[in-house]
Structure 1
């Protein structure tokens, strides 16, 4: 496995004029809110958060000693995200960590004063969260995922792996980024003479119906757009005999055939960096958004064998991890 550093810093933060850096060493108990539209209950979801918490500890922020982390999860029910954001903000956190575009949008709508740290939010300018990556300009900063670029690359990898697949289902949810990202996927697919079929499952309860729709529409491959981790998807893809590419590595441990995306563990560590800087007095308006510059590709040959598929050498040569 080839490990690569993912994050490049776009600039240098300046101090928050009215904050006292000495607070952190003066017995202050910081409060951090964390909102995730998915679940905290699975290893794939918990691992990035553990990396975030471990990095906080390295930075001197230790739960139970000088920091409290209040977590909420929507368990895939997008209609709950806004109320959960309000619930967390009522606790008056010093920093709000928003994991996913939906969480970031909800937090941004609910407060213009509490600093918000995005956790891997694709194209935050398009969502109106920041003015520019180098100069966010408001109360939001954090990490992005360069999802525009990864969408195009995901289609290319899936096509290279299964060139005979001409009807690719694109699994979407109520994620506010998905409609725009689907347009990018459609453009790339058109260049490859591939048709993409949008299929939506707003909640986990809608997944079985979504896979039934894929079969009804004759889809012969699947692209799972970057979103909260829904652990049932790989098994449903296997039952449907659909070769699938997932736009995040968290699915790799659940039998996903192909995973392509930025390391969420590394993004979690960088999110901890932003929390630390903000608690020490940096202004989110001046703390540049960071982007991943290298993505990881995981290929699961066990899953390929179970589906009776072979992965071309051209794809294996690009893999950072091969599960055999």
Structure 2
């Protein structure tokens, strides 16, 4: 377990003291870090800023909000975490699993709120969803893998094999891949996997899989190489379905995904509760339940697949 136990009363006391200086929340300082730039995480951060502003915490006014992006580099991420640990920030925000783990390794005296962490228990961030037990809590983008694979079958019932490329460096991706293998067996689909250490390996890994369709997990490394995945799917005439709605704009055929802006708003509400005295140890991890189904019929056609009318009718949004 990365995170060590911390008395919640101490954290609450520190936050209440910080918010009380000057008679209001004028002294509140939050330091945030993402893992890399891509539309979904950007949407989460935008939602957090919007939600904080709606609650009266406005960056540059009564809130000091710092944001760092290591662009996927682990050594830079570690340096950011150490710098934050030495700062006087009141609360920390981590977008995705690696930043949450990096912060939790070096900060135990102040709250850490994460977003877009698929399995915080497996990542060693919390004891359980219901009772985090320390100074870390947040929102999960855990998705129903069986429903996502079922989307593939609804679009193309002839699919028998599905390929998943995922990052070996992201524990959330490993957990999802294992769940997909189990779900695939239950649906009569063979799920084949290939791992990568970074985005430059995605092309070779994807090309090594001889499959009818590809499925992209909530995986920052692979999503950052989505254009490569789209090209391979078109070349192989294999359907490409993802967990990232913005990837459909790039050329994936469909996505059943988290509404990431809504997750940002949900995370902001949790941040506000903690700033106002809630104990992270007793603040349950929340799953973002608002799902979005997006389709791109033109992209599917380029992969040799026609999306059925009944599937198109169920889409929340159609692009392309």
Aligned match of 1:158: 152
Aligned match of 2:4: none
1:66 maps onto 2:62 in alignment:
yes
In 1, the alpha carbon distance for the partners of 2:138 and 2:21 equals: 22
1:238 maps onto 2:231 in alignment:
yes
1:249 maps onto 2:245 in alignment:
yes
> Displacement of 1:118 after TM fit?
1.2
> Displacement of 1:95 after TM fit?
1.0
1:172-321 alignment, distance < 5 Å: 172-173=166-167, 174-214=169-209, 218-228=210-220, 230-241=223-234, 242-321=238-317
SS at match of 2:277: coil
> Displacement of 1:303 after TM fit?
1.1
In 1, the alpha carbon distance for the partners of 2:74 and 2:314 equals: 35
> Displacement of 1:213 after TM fit?
2.2
2:196/2:202 contact within 8 Å kept? yes
SS at match of 1:206: helix
> Displacement of 1:127 after TM fit?
2.6
Higher helix share: 2
In 2, the alpha carbon distance for the partners of 1:256 and 1:224 equals: 10
1:231/1:251 contact within 8 Å kept? no
2:43/2:264 contact within 8 Å kept? no
TM-score by length of 1: 0.84
In 2, the alpha carbon distance for the partners of 1:260 and 1:183 equals: 18
In 1, the alpha carbon distance for the partners of 2:147 and 2:246 equals: 18
Q: Aligned residue pairs: how many?
A: 305
TM-score by length of 2: 0.85
Q: Structure 1 101/60 Cα, relative in aligned 2: closer, same or farther at 3 Å?
A: same
> Displacement of 1:44 after TM fit?
4.9
2:121/2:129 contact within 8 Å kept? yes
2:21/2:27 contact within 8 Å kept? no
SS at match of 1:177: helix
> Displacement of 1:167 after TM fit?
2.3
Aligned match of 1:32: 30
1:104 maps onto 2:96 in alignment:
no
Deviations 1:138-193 (Å, cap 9, x if unpaired)? 1011111233xx22221121122222222211120121122222121111111223
In 2, the alpha carbon distance for the partners of 1:24 and 1:285 equals: 28
In 1, the alpha carbon distance for the partners of 2:93 and 2:135 equals: 12
Deviations 1:15-60 (Å, cap 9, x if unpaired)? 9356345347446332212121112xx5554333222212211111
1:120-159 alignment, distance < 5 Å: 120-147=116-143, 150-159=144-153
2:133/2:280 contact within 8 Å kept? yes
SS at match of 1:296: strand
1:44/1:251 contact within 8 Å kept? no
SS at match of 2:220: coil
> Displacement of 1:321 after TM fit?
1.6
> Displacement of 1:197 after TM fit?
1.6
Higher relative contact order (CA 8 A, sep 6+): 1
Aligned match of 2:3: none
Q: Structure 1 27/308 Cα, relative in aligned 2: closer, same or farther at 3 Å?
A: closer
> Displacement of 1:234 after TM fit?
3.6
In 1, the alpha carbon distance for the partners of 2:175 and 2:213 equals: 21
Deviations 1:186-211 (Å, cap 9, x if unpaired)? 11111223221212232222222223
In 1, the alpha carbon distance for the partners of 2:49 and 2:85 equals: 20
